Structure 1
């Protein structure tokens, strides 16, 4: 983390922690894949979510921490072969072939950096080998510079029913600063184009707390987004990830200062209130949607009790429950290593953790915080203990600060608590994971970060 000496990966309330935990736990090591799933015999039908990571981008954004590569024809061709092989290897295990895929999310990277035909090939492989239904939510992420009417038609034909893409801003000045490959006019045209292609479930990303940005400019972006007719908005406060190109620019003094902490909180309040006026409810740490338009994939990953999801592709994470055992694991990041393992007929799992019951309970709470309300009954059914008996002291402390309400059926984040969501979530970490940095994609790619100590020994 030497290229970002001012980076703080943990802040205690009343300081504002800007980096939420989006997966948990934070400490991993080697994991034997053969311990993760039952080896033989049919399993009871269960629901899961599927995430497929497409690691290519037409434009590499300097702020993005995720595992990604510039679009190269040979690499993309090899990737399609490899990812289909990974799907086949998973489907050969009855645990996955019997699972009902309630949501599938193709993320990245930029999945639509692939041709429509290649994307369709991957999706059709999933449909052939795994259990999809007519009501499975199937999301594909894209970008204004990689979406075309022809590609959208192909996606519609193979069952995609939700499109999500990063606008980030409707201001050309900030789009240029963020290194985006589109301008504001193209973003607006792309929203219209997706709707014209027959998609009525369209999601966009916006960013605020951009260097030099004002509250008035944030509100202007929100109003433009709401007028566009999209059905889902994810609003992110810019966090300069250590190791990202933007962090290096910042360290050299070539970036305007980001708005201060209080302005960041004012911007988030503005986002919540302005979107609420148009019936867009906050339902995760940064996702807003009208009733009936929530992203099922996000709900599965974060809302307690969290459900399983399997990640496919380089750098993808998975959460698997086998009886009372729970596992979190991550795939290898480098493409060549990913290709080599699959050529050898091996699942490309790099590291992971078999969760103790203590970590299972902590995960329920840490990630459940991202869903804003944490139900009590499923916790007691799962662990035979109440949230109060395990986390009562922490809940009392958070309630004393005005961050949560301890209600009879749930622990609920207050309006203030939503502003300090990362502080609330991290307060439930176990001692082993307390004060650890969140393993962002750049850290995984570099093999760096305290959370990955021991993996490369």
Structure 2
């Protein structure tokens, strides 16, 4: 059983693998709904999945946050999600101020359920807007319009959601700088507590990777990004992670825990988890079957768990923490990995010398140069020697 005093905070991620249709840029584990999907069976499988994880890891820590991602979780009815949350409380203790996030599309079918979601205890939405330009939405394969997106935010507010995120993308096909600035201005006008603003990338195994659209050049995209980031900052949205901007105190708890190398249970088709059983030898990654039908069989043989190699822990820790603007303190490194400070020092010294990091009282953050060359920083930790750790 993990030591609750020494173990990091614990969150829960729940994956819902179905969408109305597959977007051409999406490399997530999502599958287009043909006619119907096995909603009831899937909720049963999620409950069984959690029960097996709790039994296997003898987990007793309080859950600080729940994030329902996808796919499109908002395809599921509030009644089924209520059944899921109620059953989970047989196995888990929810924090009194637990943050429960649901990813949702802004289409009419999903947004009409927002009041019901709020009534069952979901207290944060993440709404996949992507753009407020109908032409861009069409090129991205989105099934909603700009007007539906604006209306969805109004419905969310009326339903009682004071805490919600809007997803936006930049560097879109046939787009200009003014297009992204308009998207950000429109998002700010809707006054969300959080904005995710990330660049479109052509990921392997996607339609866009196979048939690449014409994208703006790198110089134009970077200029566009800087202009939008300045606009967000001017309106009080603080960048706390590479692609995440929040009003003060409204950072996504799931994001913060994940990028702080915290622990999280992962249930659902293709879900990953990370559980600290003992330090440093037994920090476990869990992986669930990716295909929905295989997952629905929920056999124990399909439930993979593998300890992270001690030699990989320095890179894993730094790779996560340096996505956060606040960086990390060395004390957190020893708490989360169980390794000595010596296992990080040579690589940190190299990064300081190259001007990629700066340090104050054992607290390390990316410099402006390091923020734009994070891959260069991580290369320094690929061959970390932990023999004296």
| TM-score > 0.5, shorter chain as reference | yes
Matched, 1:80 2:60: no
User: Quick one: which of 361, 366, 379 aligns to 1:413?
Assistant: 366
CA displacement at 1:142 relative to structure 2:
0.5
Matched, 1:286 2:240: no
Where do 1:345-424 residues align within 5 Å?
346=300, 348-350=302-304, 352-372=305-325, 373-380=327-334, 383=338, 385-386=340-341, 389-424=342-377
CA displacement at 1:204 relative to structure 2:
0.9
Counterparts of 2:95 and 2:364, CA distance in 1? 34
Where do 1:62-211 residues align within 5 Å?
62-71=24-33, 72-93=35-56, 95-96=58-59, 98-145=60-107, 148=110, 150-211=112-173
Unaligned runs of 5+ in 1: 1-37, 433-457
Distance 1:121 1:83, change over 3 A: same
- Whether contact under 8 Å (2:343, 2:384) holds in the other structure is no
User: Quick one: which of 170, 182, 185 aligns to 1:220?
Assistant: 182
- Whether contact under 8 Å (2:112, 2:155) holds in the other structure is no
- Whether contact under 8 Å (2:314, 2:384) holds in the other structure is no
Cα-to-partner distance string for 1:286-314 (whole Å, 9 max, x where unaligned): 111011100011111112xx211010001
- Whether contact under 8 Å (2:171, 2:221) holds in the other structure is yes
TM-score (norm: length of structure 1)? 0.77
CA displacement at 1:318 relative to structure 2:
0.6
Give me the CA root mean square deviation.
2.3
Detail structure 1 runs of 4+ shifted over 6 Å in the superposition: none
Counterparts of 1:376 and 1:208, CA distance in 2? 35
Distance 1:249 1:76, change over 3 A: farther
Where do 1:41-80 residues align within 5 Å?
44=4, 47-71=9-33, 72-80=35-43
Unaligned runs of 5+ in 2: none
Per the alignment, residue 268 of structure 1 pairs with: 225
Counterparts of 2:28 and 2:339, CA distance in 1? 38
Counterparts of 1:138 and 1:87, CA distance in 2? 16
User: Quick one: which of 270, 289, 307 aligns to 2:262?
Assistant: 307
Per the alignment, residue 18 of structure 1 pairs with: none
Which deviates more, 144-153 or 365-374?
144-153
Secondary structure class of the residue paired with 2:96: coil
- Whether contact under 8 Å (2:75, 2:110) holds in the other structure is no
- Whether contact under 8 Å (1:56, 1:110) holds in the other structure is yes
CA displacement at 1:112 relative to structure 2:
0.4
Query: RCO greater where, 1 or 2, for CA within 8 Å and sep 6 or more?
Result: 1
Secondary structure class of the residue paired with 2:165: strand
Counterparts of 2:81 and 2:302, CA distance in 1? 21
CA displacement at 1:347 relative to structure 2:
6.8
- Whether contact under 8 Å (1:53, 1:313) holds in the other structure is yes
CA displacement at 1:56 relative to structure 2:
0.9
Distance 1:383 1:118, change over 3 A: closer
Distance 1:263 1:395, change over 3 A: farther
Cα-to-partner distance string for 1:328-349 (whole Å, 9 max, x where unaligned): 1211101121112x2x4x2742
How many residue pairs get aligned? The number is 378
Distance 1:217 1:174, change over 3 A: same
Distance 1:59 1:379, change over 3 A: same
Secondary structure class of the residue paired with 1:135: strand
Distance 1:420 1:132, change over 3 A: same
CA displacement at 1:398 relative to structure 2:
3.3
Secondary structure class of the residue paired with 2:178: helix
Per the alignment, residue 259 of structure 1 pairs with: 216
CA displacement at 1:75 relative to structure 2:
3.0
TM-score (norm: length of structure 2)? 0.90
CA displacement at 1:259 relative to structure 2:
1.9
